[in-house]
Each structure stands twice: as C-alpha cells, then as structure tokens.
Amino acid sequence: MASREELKQFSENAKKEMKQLYEKIKRHPLTCLTCIIAIVTAAILLIVLPHWQVSGINDITEKITQENQSRATLAQILGGIAVGVGIYFAWGNLKIAQSTFESNQEMARKSLEFAQEGQITERFTRAVDQLGAIDQLGNPAIEIRLGGIYALERIANESEKDYWPIMEILTAYIRKNSSTEDLRLSGQNKVSLDIQAILYVISRRKNCFNNGESIPLNLRGTCLQNADIHSAHLEDANLEGANLNCANLEGANLNCANLEGANLYRINLNRAYIENANLYCAYLKEAYLNWTHFRDARLPEAHLEDANLYKTHIEGAILTDAYLEGSKLIEAHLEGARLQGARLQGVSLLDAHLEGAELEKTNFSGAHLEGANLKGAKNLTVDQLSKVKTLYNAELDPELEKSLREKYPHLFDEPVDEP
C-alpha cells in the first residue's frame, strides 16, 4: 500500500517537473535549442574526433590508448567550456535577479513615498482646518488652533515641499488675526496665545531668507506688542507699520528688514542685528538697544528719545533729523554716521566714537561728551559744541579744540557730580 502511494507521489512530482521543464522550454525555445545542438555536437566530437586523430596508427593497442587519451583531453576541454558557459549564464541570472531586486526596491520606495505623501496631505488639510476652529459661542477655539499650528510646524520639518506654503499660511494668519487695526478696535495690549505660538514656530524654523527661503516673511501691519520673538531670523522681513511695543526681540536678526513707520516703543533689541535695515520714521522711544548692530541702517526722522544704546554699533547709519533727546549712547560707535539735523539734546555720549560723522546742524545742547572721540567729524562748529554740558577728555580736531578752549574753557573741566 505504501509502495503504491510512493509511486503515485513520484509520478505526480515527475509530472510537475516535466510541466515546469516544458514551461521553461516554451519561454526560452532558442536557448533550449542551442543547448541541444551543443550537447549533440559535443557527443559527436567525443566519438568522432578521437577516432579520426588515430586513424593512421596500425597498432591496435596504441590506437586504443591514444584514442582514449584524446577523448579524455577533449572531454576536459568541453567540460571546461561547459563550466564557463554555466558561469556566464549564472552571472547573467544573478544580474537579472539583482536588477529585479533593485526594481522591486524602487517600486516599494515609490509606493512608500506615495503613501507618506497622502498621509502628509491629509494631515496638512486637517491642520489648516483647525486654524479656523471656533467654539459653540463663535469664539476662536484656541486649544484646537494651537494643535493645528504645531501640526503644521511638524509637517514643515518633515516635508521640504510643504515648508514654505506653511510659512505663508502662518504669516497670513498673523496678518489676518492680529493686525494693528484689530488692536485699535479691541484695545488688547498683548498677542493672543495662537499668535504667540506661531511666533515661536517662526523663531524655531529651520530655514531663513537666503538660506532655504527665497522670499522674506511678510508681517506688514501686524500687531505683535509684548510678543516674544527672541533670537528669531527675520532677515529682510517686511514689518512696515508693525506694532512691536514692549516686544522681546533680543538677539534677533533683522538685517535688511523693512521697519518703516514701525512702533517699537520700549522694545528689547539688545544684541540684535539690524544692519542695512529701513527704520524711516520708526518709533523707538525708551527702546533697549544695548550692543545692537545698526551698521548702515536708515533711521531718518526716527524717534529714539530716552533709548538705551550702550556700546551700540551705528557706524555709517543715516540718522538725519532723528530724535535722540535724552538717549544714552555710552561707548556707542557712530563712526561715519550721518547725523545732520539730528536732535541730541541731553544725550550721554560718554566715550562714544563719532570719528568722521556728519554733524551739520546737529543739536548737542546739554549733551555729555566726556571722553567722546570727534576727530574728523564733518561740519562740526564751535557754536554747536558751545552748548554741550561737558567736553572733558573729549578728542577733537586741533583747530576746533583750540577755538573752544579759548572761548569756552570751562567745558574741558572735570565735571562735578551733582548732589
């Protein structure tokens, strides 16, 4: 009984193998034909060629020996050729397998990317919808909006394609939901939680203008008072007319930014970079600008009354007709600055650097210039300096100093601390 089952199983296996062989022959008929011809040719060569080679030998024993040797040699040669052909086909099959594997990998990668792209698109749409969430009373649902904001931040960090559209969506959200017009109507003095969350996202973002971003941020006319945007990259950003009263931008980079007409009252810009920026008519009264870099910035008619500018760099800046009354410019660098018509009444310029500054019609009434360096200053007159509080240890051009010492020697006396 067992033998019959074994025979039956053997018969089925043989049929399967024959079927597989038949399928292979159907798929590769030319290859199979070539193999058959090669085998037949090899068999003929093994039989005929050795016999032909010894046809001239009469001794039967020697003839048989030589024929067998010749056949053995020929068999080795044909065997070597067969091995070589086998290696060649094996290598070809390996290359095909490798190509198939790589193709499958590429297809799998594309399928994965497609699936991930679909997931990101779905997350993106859901997050944008969350930005407009409202509660049952029609008020903004802040907790849902915050979830949308942070979801967009995560997508921006994962998807290069969606990075900039997300930045545009977030800045547009600020412009729409926190404009200076909204401030006038609502009377709020601080940004809402959702606006502050977006500002944190902007501060943390991985790129900045000219470093992964080809377009500067647009925050024109936004109300960002009391906001925290410290250390943010806002190069070339458009902040024209923005309200940044009492905001914290310490260490921020605002090089080449547009802050024309911006309200920066009591803003903290300590250690910030605002070089080549436009601050025409900006309002910086009582602002904190210590160690700040304003090189080549444009501040004509800007208001900096009572501002703190300790060791601030303002080299080459334009401050024509600017208002600096009562400001503290101790050890500040104003080399080459243009201060024509600027109002510096009562300012403290202790140990300040004004070498080469343009000072035509600059008002120094009551200013403290103790230790200040005014060598090479342009269009500076005796009349202007006659109204200062002190010139003790100040450095002046020789002719100007001589005239002042002759007419106003008390200006060079060591100042006495007032009780």
Q: Which of residues 412 and 84 earns the better pLDDT score? A: 412
Q: Which pLDDT does position 100 carry in this prediction?
A: 76
11-39 exposure pattern, b = at least 16 Cβ within 10 A, e = fewer: eeeeeeeeeeeeeeeeeeeeeeeeeeeee
Q: Which pLDDT does position 180 carry in this prediction?
A: 79
For residues 277 and 318, give the distance between their C-alpha atoms in angstroms, rounded to a whole number: 10
Q: Which pLDDT does position 28 carry in this prediction?
A: 63
3-state percent breakdown (helix, strand, coil) of the chain, nearest 5? 45, 10, 45
Question: What is the per-residue pLDDT across 166-189, written as a single tens digit (0 to 9) for each?
Answer: 999 999 999 999 987 765 555 667
Q: Which pLDDT does position 419 carry in this prediction?
A: 47
Coil vs helix vs strand at 284: coil
Q: Compute CA 377 distance to the chain's CA centroid, rounded to the nearest angstrom.
A: 42
Spatial CA neighbour of 220 closest among 252, 182, 180: 180
The answer to whether 232 touches 252, Cβ cutoff 8 Å, is yes
Whole-number mean pLDDT of the chain? 87
Query: Taking 90 as the threshold, does the pLDDT of residue 288 lie above it?
Result: yes
Question: What is the per-residue pLDDT across 15-45, written as a single tens digit (0 to 9) for each?
Answer: 666 666 666 666 667 666 666 776 767 666 6
For residues 300 and 330, give the distance between their C-alpha atoms in angstroms, rounded to a whole number: 21
Question: What is the per-residue pLDDT across 308-322, written as a single tens digit (0 to 9) for each?
Answer: 999 999 999 999 999
Q: How many residues does the chain have?
A: 419
For residues 294 and 309, give the distance between their C-alpha atoms in angstroms, rounded to a whole number: 10
Q: Where do runs of H (alpha helix) occur along 235-392?
A: 382-385
**What count of other Cβ atoms lies within 10 Å of the Cβ of residue 339?**
29
Coil vs helix vs strand at 353: strand
Coil vs helix vs strand at 144: helix
Provide long-range contacts, Cβ within 8 A and 24+ apart, for 407-413: 407/382, 411/385, 411/386
Q: Which pLDDT does position 27 carry in this prediction?
A: 65
For residues 405 and 382, give the distance between their C-alpha atoms in angstroms, rounded to a whole number: 10
Query: Taking 90 as the threshold, does the pLDDT of residue 214 lie above it?
Result: yes
Q: DSSP state, 214?
A: S
For the ranges 46-50, 80-84, 114-118, 158-162, the lowest mean pLDDT is seen at 46-50
For residues 283 and 262, give the distance between their C-alpha atoms in angstroms, rounded to a whole number: 6
Which amino acid is it at 174? I
Q: Are strands 208-209 and 212-213 parallel, antiparallel or unpaired?
A: parallel
Q: How confident is the model at residue 327 (pLDDT cuts 50, 70, 90)?
A: very high
